[in-house]
Amino acid sequence: MKTPVNPQTFRTALSLLTGAVTLITTDGPGGRSGFTASAVCSVSDDPPTVLVCMRSTAPSNPVFRANAVLCINVLTSEQQMLSASFANPKLTQEDRFALASWDQLTSGAPVLQDALLNLDCRIVDTHVVGTHDVCICRVLDTRIRPEGEGLAYFNRAYHHLGIESRLPA
């Protein structure tokens, strides 16, 4: 019988899985919070549903659970520093949010004004899997920026993704 893959080997392997860089944000009775994530993907288009993974022991986890809403803010290449700031444990939530302009859509979660894409969501289910909570999120509203380069994370580094025209005329 083959030995199981150890966590370090698994993390190294998954570093080669390219992911969009996102800020996951929330606001509500539990407070305002946000973190940087690349573990986000679509689940279904009918109804529009996505999933977001967050560490179960993250300080912001109880805030997201209490609020039951979130916004997935997909970053542009110009927002790399913002990604690093939301991943920095030395910065307070207040300091992180002060670095950009925010508004709201349907859920009340903070929506990054200049993001490439905003997916405003309600958390409809959460499953604890190993070290992470997998949040199943119903998309309530979207906002798409018609231009700009995307920011991706691959092989433990940021990369810019440019496209001449993303949306049809």
The count of domains in the chain is 1
| Contact assessment for residue 78 and residue 148, using Cβ atoms and an 8 Å cutoff | yes
**Tokens 């809403």, residue?**
69
Q: Supply the CATH number for residue 54's domain.
A: 2.30.110.10
- Single-letter amino acid, residue 94: E
pLDDT at 164 over 60: no
At 63-95, the pLDDT tens digits run: 999 999 999 999 999 999 999 999 999 999 999
Q: What tokens appear for 28 in the block?
A: 């509500």
> What is the reported pTM?
0.92
The range of the structural domain enclosing residue 35 comes to 7-154
* pLDDT band, very low/low/confident/very high, at 3 (cuts 50, 70, 90): confident
Check: CB of residue 158 under 8 Å from CB of residue 21: yes
pLDDT band at 146 (very low <50, low <70, confident <90, very high): confident
Q: Shortest CA distance to 139 belongs to which of 38, 47, 20, 52?
A: 47
The verdict on residue 50 lying in a domain is yes
Mean pLDDT computed over 121-142: 97
In this prediction, residue 167 has a pLDDT band, given cuts at 50, 70 and 90, of: low
> What is the Cα–Cα distance from 96 to 98, expressed in whole angstroms?
5
Instruction: Give the single-character DSSP code of 9.
Output: H
Residue 169 in domain: no
Tell whether 115 is covered by a domain. Answer: yes
Give mean pLDDT, residues 82-109.
97
**Taking residues 9-32, what's their average pLDDT?**
91
Question: Has residue 74 been placed in a domain?
Answer: yes
Asked if 70 and 20 touch (Cβ cutoff 8 Å), the reply is no
The span from the CA of 134 to the CA of 46, in Å, is: 19
The answer to whether residue 167 is domain-embedded is: no
Q: Is residue 119 part of a domain?
A: yes
Tell me if 162 is assigned to some domain: no
Domain membership of residue 160 (yes or no) is: no
Top pLDDT among 115 and 5 is at 115
